[in-house]
Amino acid sequence: MNWKEQRELRQSQMKALEDERKDLAKIGWKSMGKIERDQLYKKINFDWDNMHKFIRDRIPSKEGYVALEIENYCVEKARKLK
């Protein structure tokens, strides 16, 4: 197997893992209620406000950070449901 085939294989594996993660995030998001979602937003904003400035400077945007944290929480919640 040459390097091009190996690269394509790795890319397809990464895409499959990313799709699985997105599906888990959707399941986790749908399982949460409105109150839990609001609490999650408050917790993430609180974490952002209490984060050291030098760490915040390394993160491109607050919106990206919030989206990533919500996705991580939803994936963990979906894995617990299974």
pLDDT tens digit string along 25-74? 999 999 999 999 999 999 999 999 898 988 888 888 889 999 999 999 99
- In this predicted structure, what is the pLDDT of residue 36? 94
Identify the residue whose tokens are 């085939």: 5
- In this predicted structure, what is the pLDDT of residue 59? 87
Distance CA 79, CA 8 (A): 28
Over 80: is that where the pLDDT of 82 sits? no
- In this predicted structure, what is the pLDDT of residue 56? 87
- In this predicted structure, what is the pLDDT of residue 37? 94
HSE of 70, CA atoms in CB hemisphere, 13 A: 19
- In this predicted structure, what is the pLDDT of residue 14? 97
